[in-house]
Structure 1
């Protein structure tokens, strides 16, 4: 019985340790609510299911420990499928699908990373696949300049 309890505790500890090694992805409306309660910039990863470079970002860049920590510390991260016309949500009094929101943000290529400031104004886009160091440099430049700070 004691061994089962120890194994259970180890599994729970491993689960929490693993959870900290991942980006905390939110739905768009969850990130909006979170930034209203505790202001941070939003990082919106606009992707499509068929995009090979998007999958490469997920596999290589978004699993890099430095990228995971930096995003979780500085942004509310959102995954948005630019072709999803099914899931609906409200934003600033209008109803959107993920596809309509991607179009409203003027995303035309994938992957594309839209940075939205804490006041929910579109700041900039970082288009295209980026390796971890390059991706962190682009995000760091935005954060260091204080773009979007309240």
Structure 2
């Protein structure tokens, strides 16, 4: 009987974990995005944030948890979170070594939150600076896709 109860608890936990993954944006590293765009080209959404940024935290709490935002971003973009002050985690991008701080500088990000949109060739095409409510965020992304998708 204990084994059955344990198995049921495990199954419920696994189901909740699977649902949680569907109910959140799939964040990737730059390395993962490079591989993924080679297999299935999509535009890239880079969320450039800092730990001290209150509006960044509000984006995480309000906008990035909205089901419309989650569905739209996961379907149309590869999403990357980039801490603009991180100097520790290093990664390679287009043959150069970066950390969060040097990459944010390379992308010319000067305010937070800021969303850098890159095409499938990993070239920056525009930025969406500042906090955005869910509906505004989705409509901004839709406009971008209509104008820049190839």
TM-score tier (shorter): over 0.9
Q: Any unmatched runs of 5+ in structure 2?
A: none
CA distance in 1, matches of 2:88, 2:10: 39
What is the SS of the residue equivalent to 1:19? helix
- Corresponding residue of 2:78: 76
TM-score, reference length from structure 2: 0.94
CA distance in 2, matches of 1:95, 1:57: 28
- Corresponding residue of 1:4: 6
- Corresponding residue of 2:136: 134
CA distance in 2, matches of 1:15, 1:83: 30
- Corresponding residue of 1:32: 34
Deviation track 1:20-77 (CA, whole Å, cap 9, x = no partner) reads: 1011111122112211221111100000010000000000000001101111111110
Matches within 5 A, 1:1-150: 1-145=3-147, 147-149=148-150
CA distance in 2, matches of 1:64, 1:28: 24
Q: Is contact 1:123-1:148 (8 Å) kept?
A: no
Aligned residues: CA RMSD: 1.1
CA distance in 2, matches of 1:16, 1:51: 30
**1:148 positional shift:** 4.1
CA distance in 2, matches of 1:108, 1:148: 26
Q: Any unmatched runs of 5+ in structure 1?
A: none
Q: Is contact 1:116-1:148 (8 Å) kept?
A: no
What is the SS of the residue equivalent to 1:106? coil
CA distance in 1, matches of 2:7, 2:90: 43
TM-score, reference length from structure 1: 0.94
